[in-house]
Amino acid sequence: MRVAIYANDGKKSQNVKKKLLTRLKERHFALDDLHPEVVISIGGDGTLLSAFHHYQAQLDTIRFVGVHTGHLGFYTDWRDDEIDDLVISLESDNGQSVSYPLLDVGVKYADSPSKVHYLSLNESTLKRISSTMVTDVYLGGEFFERFRGDGLCVSTPTGSTAYNKSLGGAVVHPDLEVLQIAEISSINNRVFRTLSSPMIIAPNDWITFKPHGSNFILTVDSETYQGRTITEIYYKISKKRIHFAKYRHNHFWLRVQEAFIGIENED
Ligand code: NAD
C-alpha cells in the first residue's frame, strides 16, 4: 500500500509524523507523496481540509485517514496515541471506505468566458465586508429572493457542523446528499426581505447567486478568492466524493454529541 503523511507544522503533529513514519517503514509500507492510496492527515480538521485540497485531483484513488493532535475533529477519528493501532488497521486493510458528498462551485468571472470550478469539502461563502452584499438567489434556475446582508454560506452535509452551524444552520447527516444555504446577517425590515431561515436543497437541484456590484469575497473551505468581479456562482452536489478509510465504526450523532455537548450520564 502506498501511503502519504500530511501533517501540520505544529510540534506535536511533527512528533506524531516521525513516530508514524518509523512504524510504517518497519512494516515495509511504501511512502509515496505523489500517488498515494491512503493519505494520513495529522493535525486538526483544518489539516484534513488542506490535505483534501492538496490531493483533490486524485480523489477517486485516495482514501483519507485523520489523526487529531488537538481535540477530536469531525474528519479526524484517530487519537495521536493510537498510532500503533492505526498501523495494524492499515496492515489488515481490505479497501473498506466511507464516502461523503462534495460541493461543486462554478464561478463565472466578468473577465473570462469560461466557468472556473472549485471543489469544497465544508462550505463556500460569498461575502462583502465593506458594504452590504446584494445578491439575487435562484433555486433550480427560478428566482427566489434578493438577499441583502453580509453574505451567504452553502455547505455540504459534513460541513454542516462547521461554519454553517455557527450561522444557525441544521446539522445534516452525511448519508443525505443535500446542500444547505445559511444566511450571514441578512437585512430584514419593511423594505427588504429574505427567507431568514436555513434552507436544505434537494440532491438534483442547484443554487445560483447573481451578485450586484463588485468587491466580493469568495471562500472555499480555508481558501479565499477576491479581486475579480463575479457575475454568477453555481452550487451543486459534485459528481466527485471524498473517501475515508473506514477501519472502525463511528456513529455520526455520537460524534456530534461528543464535539458539541459532551458526554453525560443519562440519569
Ligand atoms: P481551523 O482548522 O481553525 O478550523 C476552524 C474550526 O472549525 C476548528 O475548530 C475545526 O475543528 C472546525 N471545523 C472545521 N471543519 C469542521 C467540520 N466539518 N465540522 C465541525 N467543525 C469543523 O481553521 P481553517 O483551517 O481555516 O478551517 C476552515 C474552516 O473553518 C471552514 O471550512 C469553516 O467551516 C470554519 N470557519 C468557521 C467559522 C465560524 O464558525 N464562525 C468562520 C470561518 C471559518
45 labelled catalytic = yes
- Residue 267 binned pLDDT confidence (cut-offs 50, 70, 90): low
Cell numbers representing residue 220 in the block: 472555499
Residues in the chain: 267
Burial of residue 93, with CB atoms counted within 10 A of its CB: 0-12 exposed, 13-18 middle, 19 or more buried: middle
Query: Could you read off the pLDDT of 68-92 as tens digits, one per residue?
Result: 998 778 899 899 999 999 999 999 9
Q: Whose CA is nearest to atom 22 of ligand 1?
A: 162
Torsion sign across C-alpha atoms 201, 204, 205, 208: positive
Q: How confident is the model at residue 121 (pLDDT cuts 50, 70, 90)?
A: very high
Q: Is 144 exposed, middle or buried, given 0-12, 13-18 or 19+ CB atoms closer than 10 A?
A: middle
CA distances from 111 to 114, 115, 173 (A): 9, 11, 38
pTM (two decimals)? 0.95
Nearest to 83 by CA among 157, 15, 132: 15
Q: Are strands 2-7 and 38-43 parallel, antiparallel or unpaired?
A: parallel
Q: Which residues are annotated as a binding site for NAD(+)?
A: 45-46, 122-123, 148, 150, 161-166
Is 264's pLDDT higher than 80?
A: no
Which domains are assigned to the chain? Answer: 2-96+246-260 (3.40.50.10330), 101-240 (2.60.200.30)
State whether the beta carbon of 46 lies less than 6 angstroms from ligand 1: yes
Q: What is the pLDDT of residue 48?
A: 97
The verdict on the CB of residue 221 being under 6 Å from ligand 1 is yes
Is the pLDDT at 262 greater than 70? The verdict is: yes
pLDDT tens profile 130-173? 899 999 999 999 999 999 999 999 999 999 999 999 999 999 99
- What H or E segment, with its residue span, contains residue 105? strand 97-109
